[in-house]
Structure 1
């Protein structure tokens, strides 16, 4: 049993949004064979209530709470220092101090970094403590992709962030023993941007808890009996999700409701912004946080993921598939999962294609149910968390370097 320092940019509990799902399962995987010291941040006040549960799950824990508004202001220091704003956002003396104390007392065997911005706390331990980095996505490319969608000065700021963050990511990857991304496409993208580390980068896919996300015979529908509910799930303070639901409401919903007068679009997810709340109306329901998303998925007439700027594997799609629901989504999301129409992924690039795809599903409930069953079988076969995360084990030390690793 080795002593592993695990650094995560957002508290990995509860696993109620995309990155937290992956970081939570990675924590549980590491704890299977090792003693884990977890350093992380809270950026959502609602997560404070879950600290005792995380403490019980991982006693060797350091948490620092961030105020997103004031921290964003402080991160502007990056404009003066030449650093990326993302890296500066997470600079924190308290976490640096805790890492030094853990190393002094327990002699760490390896550091696992979740999200490249957290590598700044592991780099001072090199080379004594080797570092593994789960970048998940090429975040620098996301910022570059955002730039054309915004006007100056945001367009300039996003381009700058993309360039500065890529330089930082390349530096981190050069110092890491191995780096990981969520899909082969993300891996290939980073290898093209950082060819000097191409031989030390690999993909580790996401998974889905198919026991939890499973249709239940006694599940109660949250919808009215006469509704035709079309559902989107996701954190609604995340810009790609905001962009996706706005696109759907503005470009697809008018034609869909002409064809299907009883259709209602449900936007299911935490922290809806003012822009998202403004979408609410006779045909649009913005739920905010719900106690259990599974009922919305199980009883949906259709599930959509119109994510124009998304990257990597979308947990929301895997969860819907596990709930025996086909999903209409953009080609980039479909490619990341690797499923075709016969396994419940219906591709649509444009608003008319989304309308056509939803027509197909709504007109043929029997075919939709058949596709849903095939979708669940696909994720059962291809998206086991344990099977994917075991690829990390080859890069971890098999034993503790001293006698303090025993739990």
Structure 2
């Protein structure tokens, strides 16, 4: 089949962030059996080598300049214009700011010429390019990496919203937006059962499929040995609001308590684009902020325990899956372990759950003190990834959604 994939986020290399990882691995799988055309945008950080690498993975890559790179006059007036449009028409400013008229014209011409059998939007922000009548001409799929309404609701509920008044105003608008745009699609894909329940409430007649994220087992091999010691690690894009909140919470409220018991405890914060709040954490004893590193798995293999202290953010976390694939024992919150069967009745323990500072101290102390427990969690975690969370498994399911007749 001929499939047109839309991604306003440049999906290569697949180490830039969760959106890029999911988009790249799904298009890589589909390209093995189908003709893939990818429409995407680049900003000034994208190199020519990265463009060449992406083009090697698809039949055709059409790359547009990011609107934010073209228009540098994005002042208060334009922001007010976009918010006014949100109120009247229902499209959020975060979607409008990425909208490319040139991309829209290219898509319109391609659909009119009947060049494609299916069109897939990688992340809900790309839904803006799908016109309601497209459904009559080809299969339309939206791969919702996480519910925007659910994320906003969760940030307000957990008290980490950057702008509480803005988000309180936006919440009912996001609900209306998510309800309206879903009607344009033949099929909807989400990453967790929670998101499916959320969206099914808005769109009871929609075809909604849960396809979790996966891991590239070659890039994240199982570790050869347990390093022992008292070395903690957090991985993820460090300009992401949920990640910033997680490491600041852990560093300020949990780590000092652990260091009272294990004075030599260290925390490596590993991920690209660390925000100022994250860089400031280097002043605390034992904390290292690396920025982007050549090999995430090398840092994971050196670590005793991986922490995933997320307090917001929906969907299965790539960081959790990658650490489990590498065989590093996990201590994570309900959000950090979302969508994963790691504990509970009749479920062999695969990770330790923690949501309060006291929970984290108890769980991490257990793992520091009991090598056998670390070994058991390590082995079971890897087995879980191998049987349920590879990109090949996810790709097969995604192919069934995009190409149901195959």
Whether these two folds match at TM > 0.5 is: yes
Aligned residues: 391
Greater CA drift, 85-94 or 338-347: 338-347
| Cα displacement string for residues 66-87 of structure 1 (whole angstroms, at most 9, x for unaligned residues) | 3479586545432121231122
* Shift in Å, 1:396: 3.4
* TM-superposed deviation, 1:49: 4.4
CA distance 1:151–1:115, change in 2 (3 Å): closer
Q: Deviations over 1:147-174 (max 9, x none)?
A: 353679x212223333323322222211
* Greater alpha carbon shift after TM alignment, 126-135 vs 70-79: 70-79
Contact 1:325 1:344 (C-alpha < 8 Å) held by counterparts: no
Q: CA deviation at 1:177?
A: 0.6
The one of 121, 131, 135 aligned to 1:123: 131
Residues 1:3 and 1:371: Cα distance change in structure 2 (over 3 Å):
same
SS at match of 2:248: helix
- Distance of aligned partners of 1:118 and 1:130 in 2 relative to their CA distance in 1, 3 Å threshold: same
CA gap 1:354/1:216 in 2 versus in 1, 3 angstroms? closer
Structure 1 residues 46, 270: CA separation in 2 closer, same or farther (over 3 Å shift)? Answer: farther
Aligned to 1:202: 209
- Does residue 1:372 correspond to 2:378, yes or no? yes
The answer to whether the aligner puts 1:312 opposite 2:315 as a matched pair is yes
CA drift of 1:218 comes to 10
Cα distance change, pair 128–115 in 1 and its aligned pair in 2 (3 A): same
Q: Is the 8 A contact 2:187 2:401 kept in 1?
A: yes
User: Residue 270 of structure 2 contacts residue 291 of structure 2 at CA under 8 Å; is this kept in 1?
Assistant: yes
Q: How does 1:245-260 map to 2 (within 5 A)?
A: 245-260=247-262
Query: When the two structures are superposed, what TM-score results if normalisation uses the length of structure 2?
Result: 0.88
C-alpha distance in structure 1 between counterparts of 2:48 and 2:65, whole Å: 8
Distance of aligned partners of 1:253 and 1:397 in 2 relative to their CA distance in 1, 3 Å threshold = closer
- Aligned residues of 1:181 and 1:187 also touching (Cα < 8 A): yes
2:365 aligned with 1:356? no
Structure 1: gaps spanning 5 or more residues:
401-407
Q: Which moved more, 1:43-52 or 1:281-290?
A: 43-52
Matches within 5 A, 1:259-270: 259-270=261-272
Q: Normalising by the residue count of structure 1, what TM-score does the alignment of the two structures yield?
A: 0.88
Alpha-carbon distance in structure 1 between the residues aligned to 2:194 and 2:394: 16
Question: Residue 25 of structure 1 aligns with which residue?
Answer: 25
Question: What corresponds to 1:15 in structure 2?
Answer: 14
**Does residue 188 in structure 1 map to residue 200 in structure 2?**
no
Kept in 1, the 8 Å contact 2:130–2:184? The answer is no
SS at match of 1:334: coil
- SS of aligned partner of 2:336: helix
How well do the aligned residues superpose, as a CA RMSD in angstroms? Answer: 2.6
Which of 89, 102, 106 is residue 98 of structure 1 equivalent to?
106
2:243 to 226, 233, 241: 241
| CA distance in 1: counterparts of 2:358 and 2:123, whole angstroms | 36
Judge conservation of contact 1:86–1:165 (CA < 8 Å) in 2. Answer: no
Distance 1:261 1:14 in 2: 38
- 1:157 and 1:394 mapped to 2: Cα distance? 39
> 1:137·1:311 contact (CA, 8 Å) conserved in 2?
yes
* Residues 362/44 of structure 1: CA separation in 2 closer, same or farther (3 Å cut): farther
- CA deviation after TM superposition for structure 1 residue 324, in Å: 0.9
SS at match of 2:120: strand
Structure 1, 239-248 or 28-37: larger mean CA deviation: 28-37
More helix by share: 1
Deviation string 1:85-123 (CA, Å, 9 cap, x unpaired) is 122122111111222343456622110111112011122
SS in structure 2 at match of 1:285: strand
